[in-house]
Amino acid sequence: MNFMKLLLRILANCLAILIATKLVPGFLFSGSLIDLLMAGVVIGLINALIKPIIQLIALPVVFLTLGLFNIIINVGLLLLADKFLDQLIIKGFWPAFWGVVIFSIINHLISHLHRDKGNLNKF
């Protein structure tokens, strides 16, 4: 993974935190810009280091649920990030669930825009 891709993922996490804070009751972030960047890094590290291990362990359940268990994994990882970050407060399963939905949408949009930008540079 190159530096630009890593930076985009961190910024996508930061943007998702801000949007979830505005849209989801029970999803709260109170911190400075530096705290927001640190939260983006922590969530990125959890997704890069812990998520693959959990997905491998839960593979049979993910298979049986046709991938829907991945949502539960993501909710759990977001709640784990909440435990590491004092500025992030997620009040239960449903705020975490809707937070995961927002994170997924933001990450999809940013990766799609970045991919399209890369395709334009090839011409």
Q: How far apart are CA 72 and CA 10, in angstroms?
A: 22
The whole-number average pLDDT for the span 56-83 is: 97
The whole-number average pLDDT for the span 54-82 is: 97
Residues 6+ apart with CB under 8 A from 40: 10, 11, 12, 13, 14, 17
pTM (2 d.p.): 0.88
